[in-house]
Copies of this chain bind each other. A is one copy, B any other.
Amino acid sequence: MFGVTILGNNSAVPAFDRHPTSQVLTLNNRNILIDCGEGTQIQLIKYKIRRSRISHIFISHLHGDHYFGLIGLITSFALLGRQQPLTIVAPDPLQRIIELQLQVADTKLGFELNFITIKETGPLLQLPDVEVRCFRTDHRIECYGFVFKEVRNLRRLNIEKVKEYNIPLSFYDNLQRGEDYNANDGSIIANAILTTPAPKPRVYAFCADTRYDERILEHIHGADMIYHETTYHDALAQMATERFHSTTKQAGRIAQLAGVKKLLIGHFSSKYDSLKEFEIETREVFPNTDLALEGVSYLIPQ
């Protein structure tokens, strides 16, 4: 399983029961939170996301609608008796803000809280199942997008051949890691006969808050799915530029130029009650677009 569940799809001021930015990326049994606007912990409960499985939280930038829910979530983790370590990845000075608030409340964490401070475009983190890179976006304050790339080192077993050559079950892991098999009769069965290459790793890119900026293309090129903000309709392109945000058609154009498979759009301005026009306008440029709807999971197939 590799997909993203939307917890908040609105821009700064909450409206129409839409919430500030937050998403959960799920890879197998791991949840990774991307941005954490106010009320995220309540959205996590509402949509029955396993909070204990959140190992990492990535914060794109320090506008409040992207991180004001973080301190509440951390505090609740403490009160709920969390023990697993938690890593926060964010620009400066988030660590100082969080630590100050924990300190004045005299909050004792029963778990390890680690911070990774983002400083520039580049690799951020290498986990056993995913690697994460970040790229700078064109926003009013320092802001980063994230690229999550699945780690898929294990080759697929060719079950027919494996049975034909009577490979013992205990050797399957070695086969997946690419080893040849030495049979009892001294013969060697080449790995290439017994397995097929590892599947292509899936890639999700979260493009954060940004003006239209083709410099991000190199980072998201060929992704299976990207999220790109569409704060405004196409008619407000000038306002979008002035406020360091993007429009529907700009997001569609980025998806098109980057050759991605699917586009999710969100960060809708509180000006707009209905979201229908966002979908229509963006699909005119990039047909495989979906609105990022709260509570909905968007999966990338195998």
Contacts and interface: CB of A to CB of B under 8 A. Distances in A.
Interface of A: 12-15, 19, 38-39, 41-42, 45, 62-65, 68-69, 71-72, 75-76, 79-80, 93, 96-97, 100-101, 104-107, 140-141
A-B CB proximity, top 9 nearest = A38-B72, A64-B75, A62-B104, A68-B72, A39-B39, A13-B76, A63-B105, A13-B79, A12-B79
A76 B45 CA distance: 24
A298 to B, nearest CB: 25
Given A42-B39, A97-B97, A100-B97, A105 B141 contact: yes
A154 to B, nearest CB: 39
Number of chain copies forming the complex: 2
B64 A71 contact: yes
A96 to B, nearest CB: 7
Contacts of A107: 64
B100 A104 contact: no
A69 B40 CA distance: 12
A104 B79 CA distance: 28
Nearest to A96: B100
A194 B243 CA distance: 62
Given A12-B75, A13-B79, A41-B38, A101 B97 contact: yes
A273 B174 CA distance: 51
A273 to B, nearest CB: 14
A221 to B, nearest CB: 31
Most chain B beta carbons < 10 A, residue from A13, A80, A97: A13
Contacts of A106: 140-141
Contacts of A141: 104-106
Given A71-B68, A97-B104, A104-B93, A76 B12 contact: yes
Contact of A100 (B45, B80, B100): B100
B80 A13 contact: yes
Given A12-B79, A14-B45, A76-B13, A69 B38 contact: yes
A60 to B, nearest CB: 13
A64 B64 CA distance: 16
